[in-house]
Amino acid sequence: MARVLVSGGTGFVGRFIVEELLRQDYAVTVSGRTQPSDTFFTGPVRFVRQALDPEADFGDLFAGVDVFVHAAFDHVPGRYRGGEGADPENFRRRNRLGSIGLFEAARQAGVKRAIFLSSRAVYGTHPSGARLDEKTSCRPDTLYGEVKLAVEEGLRRLARPGFETASLRITGVYGPAAQGRMHKWSGLIEDYLAGRPVTPRVGTEVHGEDVAASISLLLGQTPWCEPALNVSDIVLDRRDLLAIVRRECGVPHPLPAHADAGSLNVMATDRLRAMGWMPGGKDRLKQFVLSALDRL
């Protein structure tokens, strides 16, 4: 049984990864700042308290670990872009140096594979409507994207036979939140149901289970040959999301106007799909919204 360490496993995206690994019968260890309750995951996991601290000794963290999935990121709660708050230097230090320090310790401990949860933010701004594939130049225009790209590059430099590495460039992630937490569209749906105005917006999304499936799929590939992979599924307009809510709840409130989808930079996922990745698309979105409405 392969042993996997997931940093940030109690986070919104990390939880999907841990649950998928448990379903695939991996032995899972979760590291983070706060120990989860015994019922947080559906199966048993080992927990190790660990923060993103460049000065920490990570040596014992990787004892007996075969695979490291780095999903932790130190930021202002609820914010990624702008997550540095009023302390950009420490944000950069903790996330860049702390992450690279973890990967160095993993390699030295004999971990065989390492996966980094990066972001579409590494691409930055490109011409309106341009399609982004993994060969597209990265020119991040936020500190968040800059740090994610720096960690990608640091991890790539550490790769060598016996230590395979990959970075997943993930778009916006949706899906059910853990018990007692709110999903990403809770406030948006509440505003609409209350008749409050909703600003038009369109973006790209992927379900958390599809992110987790991409990692499970990657772990089954031998050898790895792609240092970076895009992870994205649907183009979603808030109007279309709230149209499902309107239809199911029978509310008369007007929907926001359509946003300009043609200006989006959509990430191509040909590499990942060629491996057999099949995300849930609009059907999975509808299932999630209906499930979320049932819980209101």
| pLDDT-derived band at 84, boundaries 50, 70, 90 | low
d(CA 179, CA 278): 27
pLDDT at 248 over 60: yes
pLDDT of residue 203: 97
Q: Which residue has the tokens 């569209």?
A: 185
Residue 170 has pLDDT above 90, yes or no: yes
Q: Who contacts 200 (Cβ-Cβ below 8 Å, separation ≥6)? A: 237, 238, 239, 256, 257, 258, 259
- % pLDDT > 90, the chain: 85
pLDDT, tens digit (0-9, with 9 covering 90-100), for 100-127 = 999 999 999 999 999 999 999 999 999 9
Give the model's pLDDT for residue 278.
Answer: 98
Q: Tens digit of pLDDT for each residue in 54-82?
A: 888 887 899 999 999 999 998 666 655 65
Environment class of 99 (CB within 10 Å of its CB; exposed 0-12, middle 13-18, buried 19+): buried
CB 102 within 8 A of CB 39: no
Span 212-235, pLDDT tens digits: 999 999 999 988 888 999 999 999
> How far apart, in whole angstroms, are the C-alpha atoms of residue 102 and residue 82?
24
| 3-state secondary structure at position 241 | helix
Token output for 275: 């491996």
Residue 273 CB: number of other CB atoms within 10 A? 12
Of 24-28, 79-83, 93-97, which range is least confident?
79-83
- Burial (0-12, 13-18, 19+ Cβ within 10 Å), 227: middle
Phi, psi of 262, rounded to the nearest 5 degrees: -65, -20
Q: Is 285 helix (H, G, I), strand (E, B) or coil?
A: helix
Q: Please give the mean pLDDT across all residues of the chain.
A: 94
pLDDT of residue 58: 86
Pairing of strands 234-237, 202-207: antiparallel
- What is the average pLDDT across 119-144? 96
φ, ψ at 194 (rounded to 5°): -85, -5
The reported pLDDT for the residue numbered 210 is: 98
pLDDT the model gives residue 179? 83
Residues 268-281: tens digit of each pLDDT: 999 999 999 999 99
Q: How many Å apart are CA 233 and CA 220, to the nearest integer?
A: 21
